Amino acid sequence: MKDPATLSLLLAVFLFFTGVWGLLARWNFLIMLMSVELMLNAVNLTLVTYSRLLGSLHGQVIVFLVITLAAAEAAIGLALLLSLFRRKPPVDTDRLDELSR
C-alpha cells in the first residue's frame, strides 16, 4: 500500500482538476461557484497533508484562513446569483453584464 500522504495528495490533485474542469466546462453560475469551492478544498487538503508531514501547525492555521475566504466567496457569489435570478430566471454567465444596468 502507498503512503497515506501520497494518497491524500493524489486525491487533492483529482479534486483540484475536477474543479478546474467544472469551472471551464460549465456555464451555470452555481456550478462554477461549487467548482471554486472544490478547488479551495483541494488546496486545504494539500496544506493539511504537508503540515502533517513537516510536523508544523502553520499549514493548518492557513487552512482556517482559506475556509474563511471560501465562506466569504460563497456569500458574495450567492448574493450575485440571487440578484441575477431576480432579474431573469435562467442563470447564465453570459448575462452577468446585466447586473450593472
Q: What span, in angstroms and rounded, lies between the C-alpha atoms of 68 and 89?
A: 30
Contact 51, 60 (CB under 8 A): yes
- The Cα 61–Cα 69 span in angstroms is 13
pLDDT for res 81: 79
Tally the residues of the chain: 101
Nearest alpha-carbon partner for 43 in 65, 76, 75: 65
pTM of the model: 0.80
Give the per-residue pLDDT at 10. Answer: 96
| Angle between helical axes of 29-54 and 58-87 (0-180°, round to 10) | 180
> Looking at residue 95, what is its pLDDT?
58
Q: Worst-scoring range by mean pLDDT, 4-8, 49-53, 90-94?
A: 90-94
pLDDT of residue 13: 97
pLDDT in tens, 13-68: 999 999 999 999 877 778 888 999 999 999 999 999 999 999 999 999 999 999 99
Q: List C-alpha distances in Å: 44 to 9, 31, 76, 96.
A: 11, 20, 21, 29
How much is the pLDDT for 99? 54
The three grid cell numbers given for residue 23, joined into one nine-digit string: 469551472
**CATH class, 4-90 region:** mainly alpha
Q: Where are the domains of the chain?
A: 4-90
Which range has the worst mean pLDDT, 23-32, 47-56, 76-85, 89-98? 89-98
Of residues 88 and 47, the one with the higher pLDDT is 47
Q: Which amino acid is at 63?
A: V
